[in-house]
Amino acid sequence: MISVDDAETNARFAKEHEADFPILSNPTKDVGNAYGVLSGMGMARRWTFYIGTDGKILKIDKAVSTGSAGEDLARHLGELGVKRK
């Protein structure tokens, strides 16, 4: 996950939500800008990039819903042929 918040804010988020994935803190917004996710006001859009083991982007989900994000993520991974653990 990439966030435009600082590392301390992301650490609190990770602890609160028991996140078991890495979070890249990008308060300078250069990575967000490179991926084109910043709105005109500099806020990051909630897009999900599915990146293959070769580093190539396989899919971009620009219709992320916080209410169904987990289910959507699992469905998209299945469609991309990623095996469940």
pLDDT in tens, 24-68: 999 999 999 999 999 988 888 999 999 988 999 999 999 999 899
Range of the domain at 11: 1-45
Same domain, 17 and 54: no
Q: What is the residue-wise DSSP string for 13-55?
A: HHHHTT--S--EE-TT-HHHHHTT-B-TTSPBP--EEEE-TTS
Total domains, the chain: 2
Same domain, 36 and 55: no
The Cα–Cα gap between 51 and 59 comes to 7
Same domain, 41 and 2: yes
Same domain, 40 and 2: yes
Instruction: State both tokens at 17.
Output: 């939500």
Backbone angles phi, psi at 57, to 5 degrees: -75, 125
Same domain, 41 and 77: no
> pLDDT tens digits, residue range 73-84?
999 999 999 887
